[in-house]
Every structure is written in structure tokens, then in C-alpha cells.
Amino acid sequence: WLTLGGLLYGLAVSADPSPMVLAPIVLGYGALVALRRPAARVPPFTLATVIGLVPFALIHLATGAKSGPLGLSTSVFAHNWDLLGRECLPWALSYKVYRATNVMDYQAWEPSVAVNAVQMTGAIVAGTIVTSGIAAVFVKKIPTPIRRLGFFGAMTYPVAIGAFLLSVMVMDHFSMRYLAVLTVMLPFASMPAARLLGGPRFAILIAPHLVASALCGWVGYGPFVRGFVPVLGTPELRDDYALLDLLRSRGITHAEADYWAAYRLTFLYGEQVVVVPTNPNEDRYPPYRRAFEAAPVFAYVFDPGRSREDLAEAEASLVRSNASVERTQAGRHTVFVVSRADATPSRP
């Protein structure tokens, strides 16, 4: 199990660098367990972790690889500290809620006094549980495996918050996502408290935080829920499929759009139409870019809920750089059908 854990951790980092923040936790816990029988456990644990990291190494040694997003710097501390206390930690601990009002436009939600009391109580409870998880390492009457899990789970909080304060990727309140690991690891941090209190009393203790977290998560969906009921057929999906019908009718299989729209549409269309980011630096899959650049005719899609470009400037740039540009509409999407300058225009 220890060997499998090391392999899975390495593969997790290879899939997305976010789990790197857990390196002191996962590797520290693994090393502590392995050292109980070092000859039998340390070599396979180490080897499995290294094997899991091979894809990560290959990705970052490849031509054009970018390591900037992994950077840490003391120069961002003041900015990140302010954002942590004012926006991100309150959101991560569910005593501040942001609600999607129009797809990507998130606004702070104003709860009632009673709901806010539950939220604040829940945050205090979470902080107390984490503190007890660290302190429980000294409580001998708690079994060692539980103390160990509680300690490492609770240590996620200072480690993740410290990384947040030094990360060059912390931009705005959406950077709260870098603190999502706090929620993931809270069950481990809670184990010593649950052991000491017993199931029923611990359930009462944790209830305000669970209620606040559930409320924060659900309210955050904004227009995608109506009361307790999820909204399955949103108007924007109808527009998205109207766009797909338009592109199919023109024989267009490649398009470009803002990053926040591009991969969403590619996924939604099952790659029947491949949409790349308008900014090549935001590419996540180079074969998409190569196929897009080889297409003689493509579409530029402007999604008013997600696109950050200025529509007039985008149109002017397309006209300057291509043989022909036709503007049309598909629901809320503004679409430009573009024939490249070095291509023979195809018939609709």
C-alpha cells in the first residue's frame, strides 16, 4: 500500500502540479511509515514515487515547457497576505460565499445574521479541530496511527497557507482554489478529535462547518441551481449547441476563442470541433494548435460570458490578417468565419 501510495502521488503531480503542495505531507508521512521497516519499505516507496514523477520530468524537460507558475517569491507576500485574509481563506473555510451571477462574474453573497453565525462557528470549529490534530501527537492515549494521520492532515494547513503566501500564481479571489486542499485533508486532521469525543459528539461539533460548507458550495453555483434543484438545461447550453450546428453547416472543424471558452467548448463538442485559445501561450495541448493552424477556414468565437478580448479589436485584427471574414451570430455567441490569407475560400 505504501508503494502504491508513492506511485499514485508521483502520477498525481505529473497530471497537475497542484499536489506538489502536499509533498511535505505525503512524503513525510510515507517516510515515517517506511522507516519503521527501512530495508523492506524505503526502496520500493522511493522507487515508486520516482517512477510516478517520470511524466512530470518529461513534461518539464520538453521544449517550450514553462516552470514559471510553480514559482515562489517573497516579493508577493504582502499582496498574498491581504488576499488571504480578506477573500481566499474566508471562502475556503466557508464563512464568505461567492455566487456566480453570470457564468464567470462571481459576487459576494450576503447571508442573514443567523446563517453568518453558523458560518463563523463552523470556521472556528475547523480551526480548533486542526489545532487539536497537531497537538494530539503528544496525547499518548490516542493510538499512534490516528495521531500520525491527524498530525500530518492538520499540518496541511500551515504548509498550504505558507505556499499560498509565496506563490506567484495568486492573483485574485479565485486563487482560493489553491486552498481547496484544506477541505480535502480536514477528515485526516479530524481523526484525533473524533477518537477522543466519540462519533455522536464529534458529529455535533463538526455540524456547523459541514452545514456552512454545503451552503457555500451550493449557493456558489448561482444560476445553475434554483433553490434545492439543479438547473439541467441552461440557456447557454442551447446557445452552445446552436454554435455547433452553425459550425457543422459551414464544414468548420477548428475554431479559436478565449481560454475560458476554448477548452470548455472542445470538451462539450467531444472534439467534433476543436477550439484553441486565442492566446497561444495558454495552450494546453499542442496537437490542437497544429491542427488549427493547418485548417484553411476557421471560426473565431466570442463568448460574452467568458471572453476577455475586446470584440471590435478582435474583428479588426482578423480582417487585417486574413483573406475574408464573415460575421454572424449563434445565440449569445458572436462568430467570425475566417478564411486564411494563404487559403482558397471554401464554399459554405
In the predicted structure, residue 235 carries a pLDDT above the cut 90: no
In the predicted structure, residue 223 carries a pLDDT above the cut 90: no
Cβ 288 vs Cβ 265: under 8 Å: no
DSSP 84: I
Cβ 238 vs Cβ 331: under 8 Å: yes
In the predicted structure, residue 266 carries a pLDDT above the cut 70: yes
- Cell numbers that stand for 13 in this block: 503531480
- Cell numbers that stand for 213 in this block: 460548507
What value does the CA radius of gyration of the chain take, rounded to a whole number of Å? Answer: 25
pLDDT tens figures, 19-31: 999 999 999 999 9
Phi, psi of 335 (to 5 degrees): -125, 135
In the predicted structure, residue 347 carries a pLDDT above the cut 60: no
pTM: 0.81
In the predicted structure, residue 228 carries a pLDDT above the cut 60: yes
Cβ 155 vs Cβ 62: under 8 Å: no
Distance between first and last Cα of the chain: 58
User: Partners of 72 in the beta sheet?
Assistant: 167
C-alpha 305/C-alpha 260 separation (Å) is: 9
Average pLDDT score over residue span 299-313: 93
User: Partners of 226 in the beta sheet?
Assistant: 229
pLDDT tens figures, 51-100: 999 999 998 888 777 777 788 999 999 999 999 999 999 999 999 999 98
The pLDDT value recorded for residue 343 is: 58
Write the Ramachandran bin of 299: left for phi over 0, alpha for psi from -120 to 50, otherwise beta.
beta
Q: Chain-wide mean pLDDT for the chain? A: 92
DSSP letter for each residue of 289-310: HHHHHH-SEEEEEE-TTT--S-
